Amino acid sequence: MKFPVRRLRRRCSWLLMTLLSAYLVFYLHYSFTVYTYQSVLLPSKSFPVTCKADLLSKPRLVSEQKQNGSGEHITCQQILFGSGNETVYEVAREIMAAHPATYIDDGQFVELTADCVDFRRRRGYHLSPLDQEEVEFSIAYNIIMYRHIEQVERLLRAIYRPQNMYCIHIDLNSPAEVHAGMMALARCFPNVFIASKLEYVVYAGFSRLQADINCMSDHVKQDDRWRYLINVAGEAFPLRTNAEIVKILKIYNGANDIEGIYGKRIIRSRFEREYEEVNVKSPKRKLRQTGQKNPPIPHHIDFVRGSAYGIFSRAFVEFLLTDTKAKDLLQWSRKTFSPDEFYWSTLHHTYRNPHLHTPGAYSGIPDEKPWLASYAMWRGGKTVCFGKWLRGVCVYGIGDLPELIKNKYLFANKFLLDVDPLAYECMEALIEQRSICPPPFNDTYYRNLPFIIKQS
């Protein structure tokens, strides 16, 4: 009888060791391998925060040891402030090619967020405000996404503050695991929610604009504290910290920041001809011309083109949701090409449309003012992209970052983890470093913008 007992003990020991090993592999993988950058956790209720971290000098990539015993490592300090040192970039690319990054699959987020307290802690969210000025200035965000939960989650982490509000619109064509994972993620935060009405989004179709409108409507109903709304793509990333964004928006003082293009660059065919979305529930969904002409724009409104992304005052958002002329323009735009690139702009630029009386509008010539909501690098001329061109837009690589971080924009689009994970990681480190160790902020440029509403 002793032999079976010993054998049973051995089997139990083997099973226990197997389970323990599996747990350690799982824990180490999700705690360290998926992302090498980890935010510095902050005291629960204290500001200002004492600056002790140096995230930019932390080794991010380490090369294989050479025969003479020396190795090479790459830091974000070198990447961001190395003045275009091509040797550093070359070594970084070689290491990344030899050791591809690993990512969290969309289908794993339901399990990862099962324990919300543990998830928020391990992912390094700022669950307490960093200073009183941020506490008193709430911002609403729209995040429009289709896939890649991990990248959207890391964007959310970079811009997350407990006083802000976050609406996430998930394309109805997104896989089921994306919907399940994002819903599980949203449940871990009281100020993050999925849009109450989701759309089958067609590229350049009205559905893309409607997705933003749906989130705007939800924001107005959900909370009355936020002062500005910013809409961003899931592939965007901030160039400014939340504290810096608050300072800039306070300077705006109710003015919107919306791109304006007028004259020959309008591309009138986009709204003079009728377009319709077809196969909206299919991978073959697209926008096509019907061969018909659109009726004239209602209320003698003059067309102004711009970007799908902007910075909108609360008064502007409430105006477009309730004003008769704004709602008529929205209805008319259903059969146009890429209405998200003219709807905001047309309402905002009263140089062409003074009769709209839009809150926070700009009355000057549209093309003669800056626009700082979201920077994108478009292909053309001598433009160099160190990452990858995708549909005419640069997906940023590490070589793009030194110049990118110098500009005055609030966000940059686009980044993709599977194109250059180190570029994304270094942007995370930069924003986190500046959040917990804020450098002096020079606001002179923003105070001299032509579209701000001057303080009385």
Catalytic residue numbers read 341
Rounded to whole angstroms, how far apart are CA atoms 193 and 132? 25
Cα–Cα distance, 279 to 283 (Å, whole number): 8
Bridge-based pairing state of the strands 393-395 and 388-390: antiparallel
Instruction: Encode 407-420 in three state secondary structure.
Output: CCCCEECCCCCCCC
DSSP string, 110-162: HHHTSSHHHHHHHHT---S-SSHHHHT--EEEEEEESS-HHHHHHHHHHH--T
Number of H helices, E strands in the chain: 17, 14
Please enumerate in sequence order all residues whose Cβ is within 8 A of that of 321, keeping only pairs 6 or more positions apart, or say none.
213, 216, 217, 220, 327
Task: Look up tokens 């956790």; give the residue.
Answer: 41
DSSP single-letter state for residue 295: P
Task: Tell me which DSSP letter residue 85 carries.
Answer: -
Q: Is there a contact between 358 and 372 (Cβ–Cβ < 8 Å)?
A: no
Torsion angle of the four alpha carbons 213, 215, 217, 223, in this order, in degrees rounded to the nearest 10: -150
Q: Which long-range contacts link 21-27 to residues 24+ away (Cβ below 8 Å)? A: none
Contacts of 222 (CB under 8 A, 6+ apart): 165, 193
